[in-house]
Amino acid sequence: MKITIGHLYPDLLNLYGDRGNIQCMKKRCEWRGIESEVREFQLTDDIDFGSLDIVLLGGGSDREQMIVCSRLKAIQKDFRDYVEDNGVVIAVCGGYQLLGHYYDTPEGRIEGLSLVDLCTEQGSPRLISNIVVENDLFEYPVVGFENHGGRTYINENKPFGRVSFGFGNNGGDRQEGVMYKNVIGTYIHGPLLPKNPHVCDLLLRRALERKYGRADLAPLDDSQEREANQYIVNRFVK
Ligand code: GLN
């Protein structure tokens, strides 16, 4: 079995150690004897979405998002076909905002990919916090850190989680992130996956199921990650 991970624009969308998410996916594959390959794409590269099993879009500043946005039209159709064909995507913060229709800032509108029915407007102050969210899909909460000026509204979509601590999408509706088909968009940085191996395994499982029709993910010893997670939950929620 092999998983190919496409990392989009790592030189521009790479805030807060998003690269750690790639390392986590690779390592958890390696520990299970699953081969993995990472392909990094720069802004002018062509992307063969048909050869990818997981796509990662990281976070970026407004300025970097504006640069990336200029390229999105060229990849929009292929990216949309990939998503509609249940391709797995993990998009963090700036990358999450780019999944939607637009991100409005005082400097102008950053047009998004319109892969998911959501939109973002910049507000003040920035929403900066540790964050804990819950989702019945997961045995234990998802923890991390958020830092965004954007307020995201996900319309009829399902959130990635319910906020137990922190701000989430817009600081108002207690929702965090979005889940659409096999796409996860989230404001949780930090990096997300090393802190939340249960989220990493969900991505790997879905990618393997889509490709091979089955996913036998051998359990790993996550006792240290669970302990760290529990510490954060106890500190902020209980
Ligand atoms: N520039 C976006 C915002 O401030 C995203 C920032 C980020 O990726 N941390 O909302």
Percent of the chain with pLDDT over 70: 100
Find the mean pLDDT for residues 220-230: 96
Q: What is the pLDDT of residue 123?
A: 97
pLDDT at residue 17 greater than cutoff 90: no
Q: Which of these is catalytic: 29, 189, 198, 200?
A: 189
Identify the band that residue 212 occupies on the pLDDT scale cut at 50, 70 and 90: very high
Q: Which of these is catalytic: 24, 29, 93, 119?
A: 93
- The domain locations on the chain are 2-236
pTM > 0.85: yes or no: yes
| Concatenated DSSP letters of 141-180 | -EEEEEEEEEEEE-TTSBPSEEEEES-TTTSSS-EESEEE
Residues recorded for the chain: 238
Amino acid found at 114: S
Residue 30 CB burial class (10 angstroms; 0-12, 13-18, ≥19): exposed
Helix (H) or strand (E) holding 19: helix 19-30
Residue closest via CA to ligand 1's atom 5 equals 94
- Report the alpha-carbon distance of residue 146 to residue 127 in Å, rounded: 7
Percent of the chain with pLDDT over 90: 89
Q: Which atom of ligand 1 is least distant from the CA of 150?
A: 10
100: Cβ below 6 Å to ligand 1? no
Instruction: Please give the angle made by the CA atoms of 93, 94 and 95, to the nearest 5 degrees.
Output: 90
* Residue 94 in tokens: 């700036």
Helix 19-30 / helix 197-212 crossing angle, nearest 10 deg: 60
Q: What is the pLDDT of residue 16?
A: 77
98: Cβ below 6 Å to ligand 1? no
Does residue 198 carry a catalytic annotation?
no
Q: What is the pLDDT of residue 111?
A: 95
Does residue 69 carry a catalytic annotation?
no
pLDDT at residue 216 greater than cutoff 90: no
Centre of ligand 1 to C-alpha 39, Å, is: 24
Q: How far apart are the first and last CA of the chain?
A: 41
Residues 190-228: b if buried by 16+ CB within 10 A, e if exposed: bbbbbbbbbbbbbbbebbbebeeeebeeeeeebeebeee
* Chain segment 122-151, per-residue pLDDT in tens: 999 999 999 999 999 999 999 999 999 999
150: Cβ below 6 Å to ligand 1? yes
Q: What is the pLDDT of residue 14?
A: 84
Please give the CATH number for the structural domain made up of 2-236.
Answer: 3.40.50.880
59: Cβ below 6 Å to ligand 1? yes
Q: What is the pLDDT of residue 209?
A: 98
- Between the alpha carbon of residue 48 and those of residues 4, 13, 55, 206, the distances in Å are 11, 19, 11, 20
- Report the alpha-carbon distance of residue 35 to residue 90 in Å, rounded: 19
Average pLDDT score over the chain: 95
| Concatenated DSSP letters of 27-77 | HHHHTTT-EEEEEEE-TT----GGG-SEEEE----HHHHHHHHHHHHHHHH
